Structure 1
């Protein structure tokens, strides 16, 4: 039991602890080799792996599954993943860190179709890289990713049933995969004895491409001195001696991806000794692909949020909202007539002040609403423009109303109406008499007699007058 624990204790240490107990109780202790031979004889290899290395290790004793790509055309299935590179780079935000790269790879030909680099693995990184792929090559039939938050964001997977993340609601906006009818699939996750999940890297061929590309990119001559090593035990002596520029990193990634696709002698099922570029060029030219118009493809660059038009014709979005601060407001005259209506607001997350595109529930475009920027409290020019806009709106409404309303004709029509006549009063079917009850204590129905004290006081008053 001591030796068969997940911590994997050394057999010699376990034997010494057992020897201490045997000495105390006077037991005879066989040699260590005898214990090991008996354990291997009575327990299977799978049971020993489960006991000493965990639940995931025993699952890896099953032979790997070989999957064929026969019958799959280019762009039928693509897979994507992100990786944090082990180099220190001056990031666009001004800070220093390790950049992230997201890549999309074709399953059939194993060619890297598009990639984007960023500071973090975000939904924007996934969305923009997918936009590059679709505008250049076409719409894929299926995407295979792991359950990362970036790829499973609602901007991407809204309306999908097999998302495995986030709660879905009936009012959820359709994501890019739903709008473009792309089948979204998530790789399986293995769970260890502690309930912790672990993804299967072997499920996505792009993971194997990263093994090759990461070594080329991170140890490139332009990255010399910026390489950090994969772990603390793998750090070179030149660790952190310099920080590479962002432009150099992008240039290195671009060169390495081009070389990766053009390298000959590939031993995959489709390549058979050719390069990934050669396989792609031969098979893509014989494939029917779905293409988007430039305006349709532009939607991929826009994130979406549901919003409700307020009484002044403004919509708000949560993107760009700071802690305790209201979100940006966007307004257009057309939205005034849609006050209280729920709409879909599409915007560029990188430029929230350039305005938003507003769509109705059916996906029909309504208008482009510019952003209402805050102004200074004492800004007289801004106040003047605001007042002029209010007056202009009032005049426009009055002119529109005057074109449809003729008050003189309305008054003349009212005067030509015949005088109003009231209908005859209806008569009741019968009339009942009303009986007034007598005062309390007086059964004769006559007025009650004056009180004695009052009469006595009246007599005294009369006597004084005489």
Structure 2
């Protein structure tokens, strides 16, 4: 049977909780002697201890709505204090207005307004109950801002790849571990990791002391794509989609060109909304808890003398991370898929798409392309001159050069075809000044910046001297000093001819001023 809700709609008995249905049955059991055996309600009220008026009301409800009508419904205003609606809105508004106020402050302000308006003054517990019953999402949006609300409450569409190498994700993190850099100083390294979305297997990684860049991402991408030298690490191939955020290292023209050449579709998360990277971020947490925490030099935030704990080199850390990925993470059942990442990646029984050769992959990932023109003295690049005998036949031609930022002692030169059919490799041009050396772009940039800083310091020193002397030259001397010394000012416009002495009302006497005559 059904009964009507407060709004007039019928509510079936199954729409109530077990406790409510059990309470309705207990009431029916109390009424049963009267309903079945015609026991008077007065006698029933005496025996069961329930008021006769209450029993009459139950009987009327049961006869009109059945067992569902005996269900005790909570008050419509349950959990809401009885007070004027404007006062309630005032309390809620104070609780939602930044900066965050304490309950005591809200209670005092609400009591003051209630007294002024002639409303009943709410108690402290009443105010506390109103604030406590506010929607947590509403409080987060009002007090913590849109970004925090989006992170905690906003619905996220989580992509799920249906097969291996369909979607790869990449991310960077600064490790909570200190190592010794090549100069013997403590430093915190960065980890770049690439994960297969379907299997959760780590396809490649890179550890660097520099902040994330397009080159560090390209090096991790290279390891992820090419076949591994370790027999137990099988994850490789070119993905269909590369899921990235809006970091400068991911949005660089270099990486964009690489993905275009490899026919990989980039997928960027919304700016300021790095949702969808939870899987790769979960790996970073696992790496921190299961690998780094057991290595010397591990120093999470809050540790004392964090830099003093550095003992490992970058190469030793790289070896430890690679061993953890191959022997622990990829072979351990994943908490979500319940299958080891390596086994889930291999279960697809597919042939991954691979580049034609490792040299072609290196050419795409580890070099940067720039357009240039061949001049009579070679190719000018980064204020350096690169030459090769082959370039003698291509003076005035437009070419494309490729260089490795880690070593700019040589460049690769390609002839650009106007019809867009592709570039033809011409030669490897070298810089005579850098021949026999290995010089990185970072070293060149640092040397130039140091030289520029040195020259600017010299310019600043001379500017200070010039400004000081000119200020002294233009500053007029006091009249009393000129009178006491008999100083004559020489006119520069008179080619050294002496100018007239300054007129003074007092004639200097031998006893006035120093005996030594001074000149300006």
State whether TM-score is above 0.5.
yes
Aligned counterpart for 2:206 among listed residues 116, 121, 143: 116
Distance change in 2, residues 1:94/1:240 (3 Å) = closer
Alignment-derived partner of residue 184 in structure 1: 266
Match of 1:343, SS state, is strand
Matched, 1:308 2:341: no
Aligned counterpart for 1:244 among listed residues 306, 311, 321: 311
Alignment-derived partner of residue 341 in structure 1: 397
Distance change in 2, residues 1:185/1:334 (3 Å) = same
> 2:379, 2:102 → 1: CA distance?
65
Match of 2:171, SS state, is strand
Distance change in 2, residues 1:13/1:345 (3 Å) = farther
Matched, 1:363 2:423: yes
- Does the aligned pair in 2 maintain the 1:79–1:204 contact within 8 Å? no
> 1:18, 1:92 → 2: CA distance?
64
> 2:277, 2:434 → 1: CA distance?
50
Shift of 1:94: 4.7
- Does the aligned pair in 1 maintain the 2:215–2:366 contact within 8 Å? no
> 2:160, 2:273 → 1: CA distance?
25
Aligned counterpart for 1:277 among listed residues 338, 342, 354: 342
Aligned counterpart for 1:47 among listed residues 138, 161, 186: 138
Distance change in 2, residues 1:350/1:337 (3 Å) = same
Match of 1:116, SS state, is strand
Shift of 1:54: 1.5
Distance change in 2, residues 1:367/1:293 (3 Å) = same
Q: 1:405-444 CA deviation, whole Å, 9 max, x = no partner? A: xxxxxxxxxxxxxxxxxxxxxxxxxxxxxxxxxxxxxxxx
- Stretch moving more, 330-339 or 363-372: 330-339
> 1:372, 1:335 → 2: CA distance?
15
- Does the aligned pair in 2 maintain the 1:358–1:369 contact within 8 Å? no
Alignment-derived partner of residue 331 in structure 1: 387
Matched, 1:150 2:249: yes
Q: 1:353-394 CA deviation, whole Å, 9 max, x = no partner? A: 14434342532212211123179xxxxxxxxxxxxxxxxxxx
Match of 2:125, SS state, is helix
Shift of 1:104: 0.8
- Does the aligned pair in 1 maintain the 2:206–2:220 contact within 8 Å? yes
Shift of 1:62: 4.0
Distance change in 2, residues 1:371/1:86 (3 Å) = same
Aligned counterpart for 1:257 among listed residues 325, 328, 351: 325
Matched, 1:87 2:162: no
- Does the aligned pair in 2 maintain the 1:128–1:300 contact within 8 Å? no
> 1:337, 1:20 → 2: CA distance?
92
Match of 1:365, SS state, is strand
> 2:416, 2:381 → 1: CA distance?
15
Aligned counterpart for 1:9 among listed residues 76, 101, 104: 101
Shift of 1:238: 6.5
Matched, 1:292 2:292: no
Compute the TM-score of the two structures, normalised by the length of structure 2: 0.57
Alignment-derived partner of residue 410 in structure 1: none
> 2:319, 2:352 → 1: CA distance?
33
Gaps of 5+ in 1: 158-174, 190-196, 319-325, 376-466
Distance change in 2, residues 1:242/1:331 (3 Å) = same
Q: CA RMSD in A?
A: 3.0
> 2:109, 2:378 → 1: CA distance?
75
* Structure number with higher relative contact order (C-alpha < 8 Å, ≥ 6 residues apart): 1
Shift of 1:260: 3.9
> 2:434, 2:202 → 1: CA distance?
45
> 1:250, 1:288 → 2: CA distance?
26
Aligned counterpart for 1:213 among listed residues 275, 287, 292: 287
Distance change in 2, residues 1:311/1:134 (3 Å) = same
> 1:147, 1:261 → 2: CA distance?
28
Count of aligned pairs between the two proteins? 328
- Does the aligned pair in 2 maintain the 1:104–1:129 contact within 8 Å? yes
Match of 1:307, SS state, is strand
Q: 1:85-124 CA deviation, whole Å, 9 max, x = no partner? A: 0111112465421100111111111100111100121111
Shift of 1:216: 2.4
